[in-house]
Chain A
Amino acid sequence: MGTPVEHVVLSIADWPGLREAIGEMPGLEVLEWNLDRPAPRERIDIVMPKHWLGVAPLARLAGVQVQLLQWSTIGFHELKGHVPVGLPVANAATVHETATAEFTLGVVIAAQRELPRFVRNALEGRWEAATYPSLADQRVLLVGYGGVGKAIDARFGGFEADLTRVARTARDERGPTGDTIHVHGVDELRALLVGTDIVIIAAPLTTETLGLFDAAMLAALPDNALVVNMGRGPIVVTDDLLAETRSGRLRAVLDVTDPEPLPRGHPLWRLPNVLVTPHVGGHATSMVSRMASLLRRQVTKIQAGETPENLVMGAWPIDSGV
């Protein structure tokens, strides 16, 4: 438990619509701060920066009395070494699962049904139909069964696909419809890939997932399989995926890449069987209302002296000597 705080100061980066979505709350003062200038106050209880400005601006937190850094993505590995030691950090679980999961279904269907080809054909005014693989009847392997994985699972319900789930440890748990479903352990990954038409990576980047999809794992997939990375770029060994997609044996959709952003001239851009999107999985209008809800809940917790949600780094409450 922390100490109840009557007057909470929250700083938010300038996300379109976010200030309005948060609305007014008794005892809440909201400032706009992009961490692009010195802190507007000595004490800001909750700081919410914008993830797409990167981690360098976080240096501005030095010397500011902060109780909670509310990061704006679910993944947070990039923060290590960039936030003051011990500062409690909450990730943005509950904010991005919706957008990420719907985007995942979108790119999976797009890749199966060749929407990128049709977009390119449109540039030449070309109407050219052919038969492409459906999503229905495909064997889909979902790697990662946290919030995003579960949200993807929930959206697969109606698609007549055959979904198998893998996470760090094998377990049975409740699926989105309340039925008990089996989650395989990652030690079975290679064996499962052999029977997979579409593999979706929705795992966080950890020491265990770094480079998990290397040449040997990719080689286990059957010809024409689709690799979808919605997690973090370094989970897939780029050169190994490049070799498999360049030969035409595998297809890929990458919302995250390594390196990121994918530089101009990178060979992945040139492959018609690879769709690259600029890490926008969680980035849609749905995140504004969900971020606002999370911030309101965090404000309420801090006002009550309760532990905030989603703590992923540091210890709550922060040592008040900071």
Chain B
Amino acid sequence: MNLQGKNDVVLSLPNDPGLREAVGEIEGVEIVEWDLDGPAPREHIDVVVPPYWGGGQRIAAVADVSVRLVQWQSIGYNGLDKYLPAGVPLANATSVHEAATAELALGLTIAAQRGIPQFVRDGLEHKWELKTYPSVADRRVLIVGYGGVGKAIEARFAGFESLITRVASTARDEQNLAGETVHVHGIDELHELLADTEILVLGLPLNRKTHGIIDAAALAALPDDALVVNVGRGPLVVTEALVAELTAGRLRAALDVTDPEPLPEDHPLWELPNALITPHVGGDSSAMMPRMTALIRRQIAHLRAGETPENIVLGEWA
């Protein structure tokens, strides 16, 4: 028996509020704290979980230790390849944030459609003023991005009597979360589809192909009064082009992500009553911790079973 008992796995967790408590004790796992901004607590760490907040540059620190897996806490991992030491496998947080992100997408959509921001502002003046707003029911909704988040958004739209169309990088038929075979249009059809869209929901990852995909021409393709909802990444949308359409009062927007981010205090988006802004809280809610904990536990079980971990998006699993 070695002095550390029967522990066969070392897991490092960041000092994120609540995470250590949520993970609890896992039999045979030694849990150490590491924020990746100081010296590594061990020479070998099987699974390193970097902080949720604080940017990707910190993961360069894993070069100082022998690591089997870096478990990132977000779904998006754009830009991490610059910092991640060559060959280190990194898993993203697919399965952790879809529920929270998709429910926020629906919340933003319903709030924007039904005038909830205006009622909040009216409330500050004690003003009870009935107005008729567009429903979500009967609207033609285009979900752009049909990965985990896009599918979770679709599943939540199911009961709302809206007409759902899906677009992703490549046209295909596939199963939705309800087990139905649905058609996913290819991104080459985007502009054509936008012309017939009343609510555009962006839930796609940021990469070279999607950067600025919603530019002035794409926005111009949308009919008057259409709503643009972004729960993906800010740079999917060309901010100046969106601001121009919102300032003109032609389109409306509900944005959980922006470019730049955080949105500076004097940014014109803040001023627009037809823009609802939330500060990138899509994946951040009480739903995150139990799902993150479950993913960490599953990854450790995969390592012990000699299986490939879930969600590897960078590096090679040897």
State the A residues within 8 Å of B (CB): 16, 52, 98-99, 101-103, 105-107, 109-110, 112-113, 115-116, 118-137, 154-160, 176, 261-266, 269, 275-280, 283-287, 289
A289 to B138 Cα, complex, angstroms: 10
B20 to chain A, nearest CB (A): 15
B124 near A: Cβ within 8 Å?
Answer: yes
Contact B159 A115 (CB under 8 A): no
B51 to chain A, nearest CB (A): 14
The 10 closest A-B pairs by CB, nearest first: A106-B110, A109-B107, A286-B135, A134-B287, A134-B285, A155-B159, A127-B262, A125-B265, A261-B128, A284-B135
Q: Which among A113, A158, A265 is the interface contact of B157 at CB below 8 angstroms?
A: A158
Contact B159 A176 (CB under 8 A): yes
A99 to B278 Cα, complex, angstroms: 24
- B158 proximity list for chain A (CB < 8 A): 157-158
Contact B156 A159 (CB under 8 A): yes
Contact B284 A129 (CB under 8 A): yes
Contact A120 B130 (CB under 8 A): no
18 A-B residue pairings within 8 Å (CB atoms):
A106-B107, A106-B116, A109-B103, A110-B116, A115-B111, A119-B276, A131-B288, A133-B285, A136-B99, A158-B102, A159-B103, A276-B123, A278-B128, A280-B133, A284-B133, A285-B133, A285-B134, A286-B137
B76 near A: Cβ within 8 Å?
Answer: no
- A155 proximity list for chain B (CB < 8 A): 159-160
Contact B132 A113 (CB under 8 A): no
Contact A132 B132 (CB under 8 A): no
Contact B263 A127 (CB under 8 A): yes
Q: Known contacts being A103-B110, A135-B103, A157-B158, is A277 close to B126, with CB within 8 Å? A: no
B280 near A: Cβ within 8 Å?
Answer: yes
Contact A120 B262 (CB under 8 A): no
A125 to B126 Cα, complex, angstroms: 22
In the complex, residue of chain B having the shortest beta-carbon distance to the beta carbon of A152: B159
Q: Known contacts being A125-B270, A129-B280, is A106 close to B99, with CB within 8 Å? A: no
Contact B278 A115 (CB under 8 A): yes
- B138 proximity list for chain A (CB < 8 A): 285-286, 289
> Known pairs A113-B278, A134-B100, A280-B131. 15 more at Cβ < 8 A?
A102-B160, A106-B106, A106-B136, A113-B107, A113-B281, A115-B276, A119-B116, A119-B276, A125-B267, A134-B99, A136-B99, A136-B103, A159-B99, A160-B99, A280-B133
A284 to B137 Cα, complex, angstroms: 9
Q: Known contacts being A102-B110, A278-B119, is A158 close to B159, with CB within 8 Å? A: yes
B4 near A: Cβ within 8 Å?
Answer: no
B149 to chain A, nearest CB (A): 13
Q: Known contacts being A103-B114, A113-B281, A157-B158, is A136 close to B100, with CB within 8 Å? A: yes
